[in-house]
Amino acid sequence: MGSSIPLFSVQGITIRMHITFPLILIWGALQFGVFTGGGWSGAIFGLIVTFLLFAIVVLHELGHSLAALRYGVPVKQIVLLPIGGVAELGRMPEKPIQEFVIAIAGPLVNFALAIILAPLGLALGQGFGGWPPADLFDNLGQLSFNAIFNYVFVSNLFLGIFNLLPAFPMDGGRVLRALLATQVSYQRATSIAVTIGQTLAWMLGLYGFLNGNFFTILIAVFIFSGAEAERQLVQTRSVLGDLTVEQAYSRRVQTLTPQSSLRDAVKLTFDSFQSDFPVCEGEQLVGLLTYTRLLEALDQHGPNVPVGEVMLTDISPLSPKGNLFAAQQRLAENNLEALPVVADGRFLGLLTNRDIGEVYRIASTQPDLIATLKLDKVKSLS
């Protein structure tokens, strides 16, 4: 996930901070230092509460991560963003019960913290400011070091409840899908959960609209598009998951040699419909010149430099028998436009995002057509 800085590790999981993360600390300091009029002590107070809030977010994400590890699902990292945290799992859990436990573990951490903190705060004789608990919220947003206990308690309650909203990308969306998936298919469960989440988002958006509240609308849009992204992901996996690279990659490929100049590459780009090029020496694939790499290299070195000097070389090729959804995920994760297809050391062709899009569209409506289509073994026309 973009540019982030490692902070520390827990059980082999690296907690990283996105480079935009300090923005929320600055916002916290400004909020209590300037807008609430607290001056320097307000700014320090703002830093402390924001820091504590994100300590809670880290514990929430660790809840998900440790539950995932328990099921053998690898955890890549936890990234802290200004709007919250994300635990990146290496793959999706296999069974609904696993998804359920992983999803609910985060909110449960918050509720556990709230339960531990309540008597502790009362015992220390500070922070809760009396009974009934409506008083809890009275000194929130105010600059009061006494209220910090209070603040942490309420934040845990809020984070736990908010994340249980039954809508992607909230944990509650996954919880709901997992529960539904015990009764209906995974794809149907996703579809129902997405519809419920998006209905909720519409209601929230309408509420924000009628009240002219910008943040509520922003949250509604965030929830709506998070749900849509989940629908799209499951839809893509269901369409592409049955297909192989072989059914999608382009065989009619123009190739470059390491001695070709960037000028030759530009010419071929204009001349043909192709814009990413494998670089070969005879039958042997030695590199890849994607369109993005070509543009960068042109800017840095001009058109006369040989392709061999600027091509990408650390590319692990795809196998024709490989799964197409996995290939699409690899392209997306590595932010690549194309990957070469190689079998037994022989270069066969190129798989681009465009190829995947074409197959996806046809396969969505005409799956039979894809099954009966025999693609040529033609390799190169160059």
The three-state secondary structure class of 99 is helix
Between 216 and 329, name the residue whose CB sits nearer to a copy of itself: 216
Q: How many CB atoms lie within 10 A of CB 325?
A: 19
Which uninterrupted H or E stretch holds 217? helix 214-240
Residue of the chain from 126, 213, 329, 380 that contacts a copy of itself (CB under 8 A): 213
The three-state secondary structure class of 55 is helix
Residue of the chain from 167, 248, 339, 342 that contacts a copy of itself (CB under 8 A): 248
Residue of the chain from 254, 319, 329, 380 that contacts a copy of itself (CB under 8 A): 254
How many residues sit in the footprint of a copy of itself (CB under 8 A)?
45
The residue among 311, 364, 363 whose CA lies nearest residue 338 is: 311
Task: In whole angstroms, give the CA distance from residue 170 to residue 229.
Answer: 12
Task: In whole angstroms, give the CA distance from residue 75 to residue 128.
Answer: 37
Contacts of 212 (CB under 8 A, 6+ apart): none
Stretch that binds a copy of itself, among 37-45, 111-119, 142-150, 373-381 (CB under 8 A): 373-381
Cis preceding linkage at 96, omega within 30: no
Which uninterrupted H or E stretch holds 9? strand 4-10
Residue of the chain from 31, 50, 250, 255 that contacts a copy of itself (CB under 8 A): 250
Q: Which long-range contacts (CB under 8 A, 24 or more apart) does 369-375 make?
A: 370/243, 370/247, 373/247, 375/246, 375/247, 375/251
Rule CB under 8 A: is residue 131 a binding residue for a copy of itself?
A: no
Between 229 and 295, name the residue whose CB sits nearer to a copy of itself: 295
Rule CB under 8 A: is residue 221 a binding residue for a copy of itself?
A: no
Residue of the chain from 212, 313, 335, 345 that contacts a copy of itself (CB under 8 A): 212
Rule CB under 8 A: is residue 225 a binding residue for a copy of itself?
A: no
Taking CB under 8 A as the criterion, which residues in 288-347 touch a copy of itself? 291, 295, 298-299, 302-303
Rule CB under 8 A: is residue 70 a binding residue for a copy of itself?
A: no
359: left (phi over 0), alpha (psi -120 to 50) or beta: alpha
CB 328 within 8 A of CB 236: yes
Taking CB under 8 A as the criterion, which residues in 352-371 touch a copy of itself? 352, 354-355, 358-359, 361-362, 365-366, 369
- Tell how strand 75-81 and strand 13-18 pair up: parallel
Least CB distance to a copy of itself at residue 246 (A): 10
The residue among 188, 214, 180 whose CA lies nearest residue 100 is: 180
Q: Which residue has the tokens 């062709």?
A: 349
The three-state secondary structure class of 78 is strand
Least CB distance to a copy of itself at residue 43 (A): 18
Between 10 and 362, name the residue whose CB sits nearer to a copy of itself: 362
Give me the residues paired with residue 80 across strands.
17, 85
Least CB distance to a copy of itself at residue 338 (A): 10
Stretch that binds a copy of itself, among 71-79, 100-108, 316-324, 348-356 (CB under 8 A): 348-356
Between 144 and 225, name the residue whose CB sits nearer to a copy of itself: 225
Residue of the chain from 187, 252, 330, 343 that contacts a copy of itself (CB under 8 A): 252
CB 107 within 8 A of CB 67: no
Residue of the chain from 47, 251, 257, 319 that contacts a copy of itself (CB under 8 A): 251
Between 161 and 373, name the residue whose CB sits nearer to a copy of itself: 373
Binding residues for a copy of itself, per CB under 8 A?
A: 208-209, 212-215, 217, 247-248, 250-254, 263, 266-267, 269-275, 291, 295, 298-299, 302-303, 352, 354-355, 358-359, 361-362, 365-366, 369, 373, 375-376, 378, 381
